[in-house]
Amino acid sequence: MAQDRFLIAPFKSGLQTDLKPWMLPEDAFERLNNAYVFRGRVKKRFGSDLTGKNASNDITRPLQSRLRISLSRVTVTGGAGIGITDGAGAATGTLPAGIFTIGQRFQIGTEIFTIVALGTPAVMTTTGAAITRTIDTTTGAYVFAGATPTTQIYFYPYGNSGAVVTDAVTGNATGIAPGSVFKAGQMFSIGDEIFTVPALGTPVTMLTTGAATTHTFNTTTGVYDIQGAAVATAIYFYPAESVMGLTLYEDGPINNHTAYAFDTQFAYKYSGNSWINDGPLGSGGTSSDFFWARNWRGASVSTTLLFVSNFFCTVGVPAPVTDDSMWYYSGTTWLAFHPNFLVAGDKIFTAKIVIPFKDRLLLLNTIEQNAAATANTAYPNRCRYSHNGSPLAASAFYEPNEVGATGGGYIDSTSQEEIISARTIRDRLIVFFERSTRELVYTGNEEQPFFWQKLNTELGSEGSFSTVPFDKDLLTIGSTGIHACNGVDVYRIDEKIPEKVFEIENIETGIKRIHGIRDFDSEMVYWTFPTGAFTYPDKILVFNYKNGTWAFNDDCFTCFGYFEQQSDITWAEIEKTWSELTWTWISGVTREQHRRVLAGNQQGFILKLNSKTTTNARAMQISQIATSGVGWMVLTIIDHTLSVDDYVEVINAQGVAIAGSGIFQVMEKNASTVTVDTTYTGTYTGAGTASFVSLIDIKSKQWNPYIKDGSVIYLSKIDFCVARTGFGEITVDYSTSGTTLSLVTKSDDTDCNLGDNILQTSPYALIPLETDQPRFWHAVYFQGEGDNVQIRIYLTEDQMKDPLVIAADFELEGMVLHTQKLGRQV
């Protein structure tokens, strides 16, 4: 009997004219995991690259893609100290000009003093017996009494000036790591030697990849002691905290703006091909308190100001040790920003959203503090606005009835819902509340410059960082769906996946962890979110805004941002062979100053997303390797989001010889370890990293081109048009009549030989011409009969563990179905 042939693809080059066009790829699939539809083709998901460059070797390369702090002290002539206590253990003095803030420390002998509050003066905590221990955080004046007599005093501002280096003769170094969080998984590096904190301890011996004879770290006090390392070499500390914000400081050359990153304690900037600490930002926040960042350039301000806020503040009685104000960066210095709105001294301590609009700085969803600093009050539906001009002026936010007021004030919405997110569209400010959407309309009237206008009473936003701007729409994730707002209407756009929004986990502040961005190169929007299996996000929702298709990636990113400090790539920085590359030298993703999408993760790694890269960057630190009770290998990966049956590739684990291909399946897991199906010999000394290996899993809809006739379909084969790869392959399984049975598996169980159903995306050995073709047609054979046929394209366990297959791209450009009509359904 003659067969029909139906085409699924927009790609028609070289096809015979008797094919019957049936559907487009965007209509053909119901599940796309780690794959997506792009311009009519089904492609493997984006990969990622390390951001750091010019590392001395492959082992140290990930260090430059991770948030790190160059340990620094204020230096004076003759040493790194700032003075010596007298015979009674007393000392007074004033530090050189700089930023004095919560978390900085002094050390006198073994006694450690920590600034836990701002003040004039403020009392510091101590690990010893000093009676007096104060610092004026405005002037830098310090006073000690009752400390160890005649002992050198050290100050640790972590980021002012003067690099800490190991001793020029012995290679020794001792000191206190910056910040207030000390834990397993943190690291130090001195030259090429990497020190890993494997567990808690007071102190614990760190793993080392080099020759240092002593390497301890106290996870209670932060004291480190390293001896015998490289002499006169800078020391870096890696806090291993979640990346909580990525932004550009929009000052300087076009398309080469400096990228800034934030974790829960510090600010960093990309400089000299790596991420380096640029100063403390108060006490930080939790791993769900992202930094909202906006640039301001006003007529009366000569330089660009970068305002940031993570909205981490206590409502009620203030908590000076933990409350974090807003901050701004002027190009040289980070300063706290909490402007007064009353002459009496009442101030805006922080706000969820900071946004410039109509030559004013607007603060939405505020927490305000009284002049006596005894009460914080939340105004979740409030907008505070500055006058026209510099928001740094003393009276910029004064209310209209205040002496010296010049146009500032506030306006509350009539809704009691909380303001969640806001963006501008076509010079209009759209504000998303919990369950509604409003516009903050500009009147031009200096007496009352704004008023609220309701756009929708049912659809709002749940994630402050889920809002993604377009030229004509704003996209955001709400409690009832994924919504778009064009300035007039608000409507759902996720009709194809109506239930998926309800999979986003609300516990563990899951909604707060949603973070979205637009990728202009790939014409996609990415949202990272947690499903509930982990505290941190473990999925990425991918939306192709050109064809309306949706996909899911397995990965762990805490936040997204943009990056312009891209330099031309070199051969030394490529971790693949020429045959494995899927881009050309003139590709945008490899060219200098091409804007890229950045992603940060929960261990402080920052990566460049790359749709032309087929593998994921090694962005999971392995803090320890041990043997399980059944002989498998146990990897300590702090705060991982790996599940059982996931796959990881282990790279550069020093001191051990690991059996197998380097790619392993996760057999067991808990919060900080995963057990993989391999063995090893030796003793782990550190530097190992792991990369997530993406499992492509594509499932078609239930196909039957004869459905209008009520007929049964018989599928004999499918011709697949695939882009050529060097060593790629993938498996095509199928089922019929709506069942979930794998007919490939069942044929093996019944000794029925239907072939292996492997689709090779590499050239056939017996067809030499294919080695020069950019694409070719390869067939997979079936014997499927039923009410409908459904195919599944995926990688098997053997394929997942093959480095050549994993490194290969996958691009499906078309399918031709060879079918027969078998009669009417009963």
Exposure string of 598-618, with b = 16+ CB inside 10 Å and e = fewer, is: bbbbbbbbbbbbbbbbbbbbb
Report pLDDT digits (tens) over 528-540: 998 877 889 999 9
Report pLDDT digits (tens) over 390-408: 999 999 999 999 999 999 9
Q: How high is the pLDDT of residue 746?
A: 73
Closest CA to 797 of 699, 665, 675: 665
318, 330 in Cβ contact below 8 A?
no
- In this predicted structure, which of 150-154, 314-318, 359-363, 422-426 has the lowest mean pLDDT? 150-154
Q: How high is the pLDDT of residue 789?
A: 95
Report pLDDT digits (tens) over 346-373: 999 999 999 999 999 999 999 999 999 9
pLDDT band at 749 (very low <50, low <70, confident <90, very high): low
Q: How high is the pLDDT of residue 588?
A: 53
Q: Give mean pLDDT, residues 8-12.
A: 72
DSSP 333: -
Dist CA 460 CA 477 (whole Å): 8
Reply yes or no on whether the pLDDT at 446 is more than 60.
yes
Dist CA 394 CA 513 (whole Å): 35
Q: Tell me the residue type at 179.
A: G
Reply yes or no on whether the pLDDT at 682 is more than 50.
yes
State CA 625 to chain mean position distance: 26
Q: Tell me the residue type at 679.
A: T
Q: Give the pair of three-digit tokens for residue 686.
A: 């550190």
Cβ atoms within 10 Å, residue 202: 11
Reply yes or no on whether the pLDDT at 77 is more than 50.
no
pLDDT band at 75 (very low <50, low <70, confident <90, very high): very low
Report pLDDT digits (tens) over 607-624: 999 998 989 999 999 999
Q: How high is the pLDDT of residue 52?
A: 86
For residue 390, what are the CA distances in angstroms to 159, 309, 360?
28, 18, 8
499, 31 in Cβ contact below 8 A?
no
Token pair 């109509």: residue: 358
Q: How high is the pLDDT of residue 100?
A: 79
- In this predicted structure, which of 29-38, 44-53, 278-287 has the lowest mean pLDDT? 278-287
Q: Give mean pLDDT, residues 381-385.
A: 98
- In this predicted structure, which of 180-194, 310-324, 559-573 has the lowest mean pLDDT? 559-573
438, 416 in Cβ contact below 8 A?
no
Taken in order of first residue, the domains within the chain and their CATH numbers are 4-45+697-824 (2.60.120), 83-156 (no CATH), 160-238 (no CATH), 618-693 (2.40.30)
Q: How high is the pLDDT of residue 114?
A: 85
Q: Give mean pLDDT, residues 49-56.
A: 85
Q: Please report, in angstroms and rounded to a whole number, the separation of the first and last CA atoms in the chain.
A: 22
pLDDT band at 577 (very low <50, low <70, confident <90, very high): low
- In this predicted structure, which of 274-278, 320-324, 690-694 has the lowest mean pLDDT? 320-324
Q: Is 319 helix (H, G, I), strand (E, B) or coil?
A: coil
118-122, 465-469, 575-579 — most confident range: 465-469
Report pLDDT digits (tens) over 275-306: 998 877 766 688 899 999 999 986 566 789 99
Q: For 545-687, list the strands marked E by DSSP.
A: 549-554, 559-563, 596-600, 606-610, 620-621, 624-627, 633-636, 647-651, 654-658, 663-669, 673-676, 680-686
C-alpha Rg value of the chain to the nearest Å:
30
Query: Is 691 exposed, middle or buried (CB count within 10 Å of its CB: 0-12, 13-18, 19+)?
Result: buried
Q: Going by C-beta distance under 8 Å and a sequence separation of 6 or more, which residues neighbour residue 800? A: 647, 663, 665, 693, 695, 806
pLDDT band at 152 (very low <50, low <70, confident <90, very high): confident
Concatenating the DSSP letter of every residue in 385-445 gives E--SS-TTSTTTT--TTSTT--S-EEEE-SS-SPEEEEEEETTEEEEEESS-EEEEEE---
Q: How high is the pLDDT of residue 160?
A: 45
Reply yes or no on whether the pLDDT at 679 is more than 60.
yes
Closest CA to 694 of 542, 554, 528: 554
Q: Give mean pLDDT, residues 165-191.
A: 89
Q: Give mean pLDDT, residues 240-244.
A: 96
**Residue 4, beta-bridge partner list:** 819
Dist CA 11 CA 393 (whole Å): 60
pLDDT band at 387 (very low <50, low <70, confident <90, very high): very high
Reply yes or no on whether the pLDDT at 331 is more than 50.
yes
Dist CA 397 CA 384 (whole Å): 7
HSE, side-chain direction, 13 A CA sphere, residue 151: 19
Q: How high is the pLDDT of residue 161?
A: 43
Reply yes or no on whether the pLDDT at 73 is more than 80.
no
H helices of 61-195, where? none
Q: How high is the pLDDT of residue 587?
A: 54
Q: How high is the pLDDT of residue 591?
A: 58
Closest CA to 455 of 428, 437, 468: 437
Reply yes or no on whether the pLDDT at 584 is more than 70.
no
Q: How high is the pLDDT of residue 756?
A: 81
Reply yes or no on whether the pLDDT at 750 is more than 70.
no
State CA 406 to chain mean position distance: 41
Q: Give mean pLDDT, residues 173-197.
A: 92
Q: State whether the Cα torsion 450-454-455-458 is positive or negative.
A: positive
Cis bond before residue 121 (omega within 30° of 0):
yes
Q: What percent of the chain has pLDDT over 90?
A: 66
Reply yes or no on whether the pLDDT at 96 is more than 90.
no
Q: What angle do CA 469, 443, 470 make, to 5 degrees?
A: 10
Q: How high is the pLDDT of residue 79?
A: 41
H/E stretch holding 446: none
Report which of residues 156 and 522 the model is more confident about: 522
